Chains A and B, each alone.
Chain A
């Protein structure tokens, strides 16, 4: 690094920024000072970039689906490349806003703390456009990102210290601050200025029919398919990256194969959703088959990419089982028994994040109690 960026240099205020770009291009020649003289080649950049790569299929599908839903809703003929291009132009600004606002704050806070820039936001910044409606006004997104990064992360001390998942906090901020832009039938399908829905078309997502049961879902009369496989493939309206379970499963395979995310959380979250969904179905609370919950709305995306966030999820193996199950169960409970919100995943994960330290506390406490018992018995 040039001397003027070092402490006491004229451009020291740019130190963290320069360092971030420099270490992005190459691993620095820093050597170990004490302790283990050799280190594993893995670093956080590597782990984070795997998470981003895992989300790319969902992002690409989301772009195409944005164009496809637009074509369906306006009565145009769906054409693959045209739809993808339309979606790309719609989604790209979301990525730009998310990264520019988030990284600017991240760089500034790293400089204030005198630390290196943490790569955590590379992942959050990629996830945020995927969990918001495609037509969300960009200024709202910017405000929400700023809120989430500053109050959700930096005030706690940056990546690794935060309690809630910053990407979900962005969505929660949008959801509660600008409810009109986050619900209703105008949000989920991208429209150009002056375009209107063709007769009979709806802008509602499959989730919004959920409260009225299976009949409402199958006979919704929507211009898109509302069957199980339609939702599995993802050709339905919704947040940009959350609709296609197939694309998300590709990401899940990458995350699990590389060991970046926890299979325990994913498995137990699915188990929790099936358990509550199945129980409700058995007791006659709803006639929606429990498997539908796995393919609807943000459940799949949340389970694979959000609940498994290493910082905000449970830390211990046993805690992960409890935490995942809790999220899956609460998500379906909110969907079925709460008339206010159609989507329960965001709140379920944020609630799970809140309780994760408590779950871990319980797990470690039991562990220590067991150890002490063994001692007394011996």
Chain B
């Protein structure tokens, strides 16, 4: 199989506010949150009480179904509060961080670890949650044997963190991570070019994937490297957490510090920060000033979470995007011949033939229309989707809750993020990712 994949379809959304390649600040806030909602498919059981002391790496949550799967604290400190919502649903565990961080020691690894040792250490340290299982995008089941483990070494999402900048000098940790994962299953790493810092990783098959977004989505890469079929599972790991796994095996510490890209049209000085997952968004106040009329997104603009000022940086997220809320009506919007202050890749606006498709636009959160039934044909929606599926058929199967057709049209191959561009471009303004997620939830329920 060729290890060079060139994707013709795709779309890079030229959102304004690209983060400068410099670490502006280091943010280690007083309080850090552990949120069960970050971990899809995890049914959380609380392991700590208010006032408990924890170290970085001490378990905070466990999965009810697989008690071995733990979620651990990213900092050492004291459990300040357990936040619950309606019906006592567990929302977050807040930990007050100590001044001097202490790490639980999992022991630096010697050579010759067995697969069992690797698994055991990942489970104990809480880094098992780095494995996202496909199909369904849930935290991996330790009892399952995956076909392979996939890592995307770059992201093509709008304003995504540049991995060459954030992790280019951590290749030693990444190599330790890959070597450990290679004990569990075959590892595939996709890089964006052959001279990438990550193209030299050993113990893994390297694929060069070129193309516009969503070429950096691991789901798209899998569909071109080794598509998932019924009754197969694969695991994916983000590059950021692969480095954390590597650090676990070299230093024995649970260390999920990362460089996070803070960008977007509403960001004061788009740049990187050095921080931890779980920090409150209010710690970024200097980046956005007043939160009035601003949307604070943990993740990218296409599939990130609307965290708000009271929210927290997600466990898997390496970027924060700041957008203006688009609550202003636009007079004669759709009827104007040109709309240069808005972005449209559709040919009915003329950005595409005026060479303005790559021009940065300060987009806001306006929906730009009202909800409608799907009118445009499947081929219209497939325009920017470099996967071998019929997106509209899959969406309609999910809407109908038709399991057979969902299977046929590729529900095993996709996560909502893979169809984010379909949602972005939909002139009928449907919530496509939500529809796909509901389809996946139905599959999980029916297959259980």
Interface size on A, residues (CB 8 A): 56
B327 within 8 A of A: yes
Across the interface, A160 reaches (CB within 8 A) one of B335, B344, B373, namely: B373
Chain A residue at minimum C-beta to C-beta distance from B422: A36
Main DSSP-derived SS at the A contact region: loop
Across the interface, B427 reaches (CB within 8 A) one of A19, A43, A316, A368, namely: A43
A125 within 8 A of B: no
Within 8 Å CB of A262, what residues of B?
A: 377, 379
B210 within 8 A of A: no
**Segment at the interface with B among A22-30, A195-203, A217-225, A324-332:** A22-30
Instruction: Please count the residue pairs between chain A and chain B whose beta carbons lie under 8 angstroms apart in the complex.
Output: 201
Chain B residue at minimum C-beta to C-beta distance from A371: B388
B195 within 8 A of A: no
**Segment at the interface with A among B39-47, B91-99, B105-113, B294-302:** B294-302
B114 within 8 A of A: no
Q: How long is the Cα–Cα vector from A157 to B373 in the complex, in angstroms?
A: 9
Q: Decide: A160 and B372 in contact? CB cutoff 8 A.
A: yes
B144 within 8 A of A: no
A272 within 8 A of B: no
Q: How long is the Cα–Cα vector from A256 to B8 in the complex, in angstroms?
A: 21
Q: Decide: B330 and A39 in contact? CB cutoff 8 A.
A: no
B29 within 8 A of A: no
Residue interface mask A245-277, B partner, CB < 8 A = 1: 000000000000111101000000000000000
Q: Decide: B229 and A375 in contact? CB cutoff 8 A.
A: yes
A192 within 8 A of B: no
Q: How long is the Cα–Cα vector from A46 to B339 in the complex, in angstroms?
A: 12
Across the interface, B348 reaches (CB within 8 A) one of A25, A260, A314, namely: A260
B273 CB → nearest A CB, Å: 20
Q: Decide: B323 and A42 in contact? CB cutoff 8 A.
A: no
Across the interface, B349 reaches (CB within 8 A) one of A27, A46, A311, A315, namely: A46
- A30 in contact with B333 given A36-B423, A371-B388 (CB within 8 Å): no
Q: Decide: B379 and A320 in contact? CB cutoff 8 A.
A: yes
Q: How long is the Cα–Cα vector from A259 to B350 in the complex, in angstroms?
A: 11
Within 8 Å CB of B367, what residues of A?
A: 28, 30-32, 39
- Interface of B toward A, CB cutoff 8 Å: 13, 15, 158, 227, 229, 295, 297, 301-304, 306, 321, 323, 325-335, 339, 342-349, 363-380, 382, 388, 390, 392-393, 408-409, 416, 420, 423-429, 431-434
Interchain residue pairs with CB less than 8 A apart (29): A23-B369, A23-B370, A28-B370, A29-B328, A31-B295, A31-B366, A34-B306, A37-B304, A38-B15, A38-B302, A38-B365, A39-B366, A41-B339, A41-B344, A41-B346, A42-B348, A42-B369, A43-B429, A44-B428, A45-B335, A49-B334, A158-B373, A160-B374, A161-B373, A259-B347, A310-B376, A317-B379, A317-B382, A375-B227
Given contacts A39-B369, A310-B375, A316-B390, could you give 6 more A-B pairs where the C-beta distance is less than 8 Å? Answer: A26-B333, A31-B326, A34-B433, A39-B429, A42-B344, A262-B377
